[in-house]
Structure 1
């Protein structure tokens, strides 16, 4: 199935994830469940969709565990291409809901088949959604983040408690990265520090997909400690959590994704 042009609700399929502005100006390929390229959006598309244009490929999840991570959502939708996961917060707390943008419209039908299947001990409800609902949720998340209300899951709080007293080795672990974030995005996030792309390590799962985490090697322990000022600042629409780490933890995480 091929489609070139706008979705029926006004989106053009390239406005997904944290690199939304950049993706608008560049060709972007999305992949099917098998991992092979299903189609590519180009400036001069050779294909046309027969019939009405498809809807924007987004679903809404409800009933998620309150310590749910992007990796958990990816595992729940195993076999589908996840472009973006947006967790929804209310009054600074995770609501148990999320929006998931998929690689292309046909995958929405497969995602809906996961309705009322379990994630751990919780059964998850999966609904069709719309581009407008997804972007409204993004606007709300960004507004809350700018308002200075930090949002932390139980898992994040338990780890954060030792951050102030943790020893700095020059390595930081990043959590909460959008799946489409690249090394250049992380360099821009830490633009006040002298970093090269070689010092950034985005971790992958066993399927070779991003986990939402990365490790950054700073020139010195003093630099990594100073960089903690960026903790819970936003990259795109997502706020990023930072943790002091070590070269040993970095090596272990990178080796797991090989």
Structure 2
């Protein structure tokens, strides 16, 4: 009898060791904001979304090509995602008129656009907005229109050694002061469009004119071209910002 009496506390202890915490106490351990950010909350957000994420796009894809890919569906907006060096990433977002259309458009998952098949994912709109906030497209405040134009693929990437077709480079001896476009040399290789716009934040630039140079391997060449609202504004930028630093490198500016 003594042995059974002695074993009773041990059995009680073992039982207590496997008792789970009441579910009612769990919210005290996890804040409501954290609960909302869990997988279930993200699924709910995606279920209500009108946005599809496109993966595997050809790097030269235009907005019109995406619209043609979704012919028969009402697409409100197409937004492209760029790498930090300004090159296309092959990712884009398409926002449809309704959630139902977005879900129907998923039937095109795996179809080809050009020579590449496209993967489609139904994602929360917040994912698209997060790309804008965190990516190279994060141009706040007064730069919002610039951001929208860049998102629509209006920024160009130029091969090394080529000047923009609209503003061909002329010999230095004959360059006048009536040009609205400047050539930028010495950019850090990791410089983003946002970095360049911030460098010229006190000047009136034409955002969609920004053209980044790349070498034969598609890597940043450290060159860019940017057009200003007037020749006077371009000249002022050259005079005031030439040889100023962006990051740890100074930039050489010249009219083209």
TM-score (norm. length: structure 1): 0.40
TM-score (norm. length: structure 2): 0.40
- Which of 1 and 2 has greater Rg? 2
